[in-house]
Amino acid sequence: MIKTVVLDGYTVYPAGDSNWDRFNGFAEMTVYDRTAPGEVVDRCRDAEAVLTNKVVLDAATIAALPSLRYIGVLATGFNVVDIAAARARGIAVTNIPAYSTMSVAQQVLALLLAITNRVESYAAVNRDGRWARSADFTYRLGEWPELAGKQMGIVGFGNIGSAVARIAVAMGMSVGVVTSRQQSDLPAGCVKMELDTMLETADVVSLHCPLTPSTAGLIDAAALARMKPTAILINTSRGPVVDEQALAVALSSGQIAAAGLDVMSAEPPRADNPLFSCPNCYITPHVAWASTEARERLIAIAASNLSAFAAGAPVNVVN
């Protein structure tokens, strides 16, 4: 049995919604809902395996855990772990690939339709009697566009970007893709574009790139200035890919029409983040990954990863 500590299990399984028994038979589990940075070493001092979603395991923390042999990241991105430090210690680090592809793609569509079709706005005013008081059989809160015939611009064409492209094509949209892939590798309906060209022509820009030094601040003031005044920006990738101050200015000035964000540069964000005061900015709290089905897949893969490591044949190793 591998002595295993879960540092932040609450976001995967809120209280009363637990399925950690998938680890029965090969892991002795201790699960914490949340762990503050100063608590990590004490809680993991004797652990052979540590599972983390967002709790950081830096070089100093790893060095203070002599029993540690395995780190399982409960997400696809693994920037919360000092990979070089783990490698130097011979500690395997694994992640959970492609568990939430369709859930995130669904959230992209949900954000987009929230902006274009304004279902929440109509529902809210109708609860207050707006339709019941109407002199006509219908009314409109404003103009709204039909997405068919519009262009979806996608930055990054991995599993999620590809899924979003399929949805866009099914809705009658053309798709411009910013990717390292060749045009011959893209599916029908998708055209490879340079970033600047895509920004200038797209009606919707959806971000699906990893956070790297080259993508941090990718959508800055200059990039936003290239977009159409009717354009919509959707970000379900990583918050720092977008310059939030520049986006707030662009939204407030009408430089672009709207934004839908599931990620922010700091999470939880500061209460005074200027995007919260933009009525044309639709923000969800990093939930795109967290459908019931996606969380079940995440835990199933996490258990499989640790089981494979225990058997001496590790999988999904990122270091």
**Cβ atoms of 302 and 74 closer than 8 Å:** yes
d(Cα 80, Cα 128) in Å, to the nearest integer? 46
Q: Which entry of 48, 208, 226, 238 is annotated as an active-site residue?
A: 238
Q: Which entry of 120, 267, 270, 293 is annotated as an active-site residue?
A: 267
d(Cα 52, Cα 157) in Å, to the nearest integer? 27
Active site residue 286: yes
- Which residue's structure tokens are 């967002």? 54
Active site residue 200: no
**Cβ atoms of 94 and 318 closer than 8 Å:** yes
d(Cα 64, Cα 77) in Å, to the nearest integer? 23
Which stretches does DSSP call E strand in 124-270?
151-155, 174-178, 190-192, 204-207, 232-235, 258-261
d(Cα 44, Cα 30) in Å, to the nearest integer? 10
Q: Which entry of 208, 226, 286, 295 is annotated as an active-site residue?
A: 286
Burial, 102: exposed, middle or buried (Cβ in 10 Å; 0-12, 13-18, 19+)? middle
> Two tokens at 58?
């830096």
Three-class DSSP labels, 119-165: HHHHHHHHHCCCCCCCCCCCCCCCCCCCCCCCEEEEECCCHHHHHHH
Q: Which amino acid is it at 287?
A: V
**Cβ atoms of 29 and 6 closer than 8 Å:** yes
d(Cα 254, Cα 74) in Å, to the nearest integer? 39
Positions marked catalytic: 238, 267, 286
